[in-house]
């Protein structure tokens, strides 16, 4: 039976490249000359640590991260900017977690979207992915289109399409 997997993963090397491009752009920008800016990627925890002098500069760094990650092919939904900016003396800090893998509640949301569509497919949660199987490949392609149009607020990828 044809099947495919729905995942939400970020390629570590692509993320590293995007962060390095952001660092390079920020150091070359005139408005950041002689100001304290720190951008670090914790590869183990998929966490970007940001430090800047003010809220305004922090927001500019976040804008650059979003624009450069889009150019690298990363979905901006993979970054969780919901954490508040924390003042720490003369600087402000922010930790930006990067989504890597579907959480259980997100996987349930994806399965619910598929089940509510009425398509003749089976969706099952397997650790941090959702496996979708069907009798016809056209049904699987309909599920992919459905998930893209559903606006679940998740950066989803569709991998391992098999006949």
Domain that holds residue 144: 3-8+101-162
Mean pLDDT of 12-35: 92
What global pTM score does this model have? 0.82
- Domain count of the fold of the chain: 2
Q: Which residues of 68-84 are buried (b: 16+ CB within 10 A; e: fewer)?
A: bbeebebeeebbeeeee
Residues 68 and 43 in one domain: yes
End-of-domain residue from the set 73, 97, 121:
97
For residue 85, the model assigns a pLDDT of 86
For residue 96, the model assigns a pLDDT of 93
Q: What confidence tens digit (pLDDT) does each residue in 72-111 have?
A: 999 998 999 888 888 888 899 999 999 888 889 989 999 9
Domain holding 33: CATH number?
A: 3.30.70.990
Residues 91 and 105 in one domain: no
Backbone angles phi, psi at 103, to 5 degrees: -75, 165
For residue 63, the model assigns a pLDDT of 95
Domain holding 148: CATH number?
A: 3.30.70.860
């Amino acid at each position: 039976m044809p099947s495919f997997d729905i995942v939400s993963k970020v390629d570590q090397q692509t993320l590293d490249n995007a962060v390095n491009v952001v660092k390079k752009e920020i150091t070359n920008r005139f408005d950041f000359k002689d100001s304290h800016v720190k951008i670090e990627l914790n590869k183990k925890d998929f966490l970007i640590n940001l430090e800047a002098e003010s809220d305004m500069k922090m927001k500019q760094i976040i804008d650059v991260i979003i624009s450069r990650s889009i150019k690298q092919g990363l979905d901006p939904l993979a970054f969780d900017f919901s954490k508040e900016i924390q003042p720490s003396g003369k600087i402000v800090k922010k930790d930006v977690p990067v989504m890597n893998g579907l959480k259980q509640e997100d996987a349930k949301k994806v399965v619910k979207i598929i089940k509510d569509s009425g398509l003749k497919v089976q969706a099952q949660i397997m650790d941090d992915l959702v496996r979708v199987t069907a009798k016809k490949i056209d049904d699987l392609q309909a599920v992919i289109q459905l998930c893209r149009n559903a606006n679940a607020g998740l950066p989803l990828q569709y991998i391992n399409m098999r006949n």
